[in-house]
Structure 1
């Protein structure tokens, strides 16, 4: 007698067990347990085999129908490459990405979030190339550089759509930019500083580096606003802080010592913690208008203490939901020939709004 017929005959008078299901599926008991409890890293063929065997022998599981429905959902592999894992904002960003993928009920999302070892173009390129081996669609907060443009172009041509996050890393090459309108962000910073500080004086701006397209656009927005509406405020040459706390701290101390008429500071990227620490040491609250990006524990405390005048924040949850929806569409249909932009409305936090 064939095994399946014999097994079915033996089980007509008793309830099939997990071992019976494992034998019928030709796998181990541990594998069956992983399938029935929907644990990760089980091959699709194995899941289908176990489900078919469960139906065949009448294995009693209330989860069977749910697992069958789940198995019918397409798998989408997401790959994300961020930077600065030591910064609270990027840790929050990674969490929001994973949550947005997990919330999608129309797919089975697999989320791989990695951090570039540094801001060097080669580190971003290497991570993107590595993650593309398993990902269907990718997104990154990479800098602007020819190496990144070529890497992203190659991925696009290979059928792996790439989205730029926060910084328009490869305009016209990547699939789409998702983030804030950075010129508008810079103008908002200028409005806040000019509104709070009406005296003649100077304004400083920190940018992460000259390869951050988003930071350069924020500097442009700040300069244009001051030129239009606050000509009494002189914008000093941008200071590159590499998005680091210590460089920003030391440079802010130097600014305060050299410019007694310093009226405002805008930290266009990371490193705001250094500016906050320096102002706490050298000036009373509100003496210098400080505008920073992203609401974190430290920027929230500085708002409360009025050392920060305004936080311009990215709506992370909305960004991640919109991004994941677009990535799913592209993963199913392949890269589009047209590069796009998706702007979100910034969130503004003042001391009185907390």
Structure 2
């Protein structure tokens, strides 16, 4: 019988050192970007395993020893608060301490700074809603190089490995929004798209999906304006009021982002809530009430509780040395007749749908 190779595998070293496999690969191949203390931890684990037969003698790190931070975009409001509340509850159920922060959507430098701060705070896992910006991309890559598990939620950031993700197929969600819009408008008319100022890949993918299905199946629906907002209900109200005043022929509005309450108010004030079809994203207590009152016609929904549970589970998976998963959650179409209860969560004076 040939002697067994005692050279430890990368996964064994990762389990022994309590870091990700990408960090081990980076250290063993002499690439930069890993903290000296992490380098020493990896090298010590490799030495120990080489001397002891090439298999870890300790259990994989337990989730109970993990500390998490979640960085969500925007001010606390209904949609954000539902996700934050679900993250807190999921972390509590797994016995994992979680610190939740809301970061300005339109300030990539602030988000990058908060991400980098995790390197100094003994954080083992980060859940982040990323904006598409080099500052944020570099900060996430630095966390991963340090052995910190990172999972993006709601919006993806391709090209960084290993990086987990939990969220919708947003292009498919945009196509669903376009399909229901086409049916509501009878296949013809004019539409305005509202989206966030923040550079979220999710919103870009939604818009691409929306436009693609309108071109393919509803060519007689014309998108006449695309309006950028700050997810601010007051700004959405002013912009929606303006476009309604200028376009008496407007048939439909699609909001890919937050601020639905402002658009709803503008439709009601203009007396056009029944004549202009309104398709929104994310079921919240406010959008649920608007569906009941018929001032919103359809909501494309993503289950924040499931997103939170999957994100916490993904971090724990990575903490145990296994690859971080990419989880696509189902996209739901919510109409007036299939409404379900949804937790209101804490109410804030600037709450938005």
> What TM-score comes out, normalization by structure 1 length?
0.74
| Counterparts of 1:199 and 1:74, CA distance in 2 | 54
Post-superposition Cα deviations, 1:22-48, rounded to whole Å, max 9, x if no partner, equal: xxxxxxxxxxxxxxxxxxxxxxxxxxx
| Counterparts of 2:66 and 2:180, CA distance in 1 | 43
Q: Which consecutive unaligned segments of at least 5 residues does structure 2 have?
A: 1-61, 340-353
**Partner of 1:102 in structure 2?**
92
Indicate which of 83, 86, 94 corresponds to 2:76: 86
Aligned 1:263-282 pairs, distance under 5 A: 263-282=251-270
1:342 aligns with 2:330: no
| Counterparts of 2:272 and 2:194, CA distance in 1 | 21
Post-superposition Cα deviations, 1:197-220, rounded to whole Å, max 9, x if no partner, equal: 126321111110261111111111
Post-superposition Cα deviations, 1:88-130, rounded to whole Å, max 9, x if no partner, equal: 11111111001111212xxx31111111145300111111122
1:248 aligns with 2:236: yes
Q: Which consecutive unaligned segments of at least 5 residues does structure 1 have?
A: 1-71
Please say if residues 182 and 188 of structure 2, whose CA atoms lie closer than 8 Å, have aligned partners that are also in contact.
no
| Counterparts of 1:73 and 1:189, CA distance in 2 | 38
Aligned 1:115-264 pairs, distance under 5 A: 115-132=102-119, 133-173=121-161, 175-198=163-186, 200-209=188-197, 211-264=199-252
1:113 aligns with 2:103: no
Higher RCO by CA contacts (8 Å cutoff, separation 6 or greater)? 2
> What TM-score comes out, normalization by structure 2 length?
0.74
| Counterparts of 1:285 and 1:247, CA distance in 2 | 18
Residue aligned with 1:114, SS: strand
Please say if residues 294 and 313 of structure 1, whose CA atoms lie closer than 8 Å, have aligned partners that are also in contact.
yes
Please say if residues 264 and 288 of structure 1, whose CA atoms lie closer than 8 Å, have aligned partners that are also in contact.
yes
Provide runs of 4+ in structure 1 moved above 4 Å: none
How many pairs align?
277
Compute the RMSD of aligned alpha carbons.
1.9
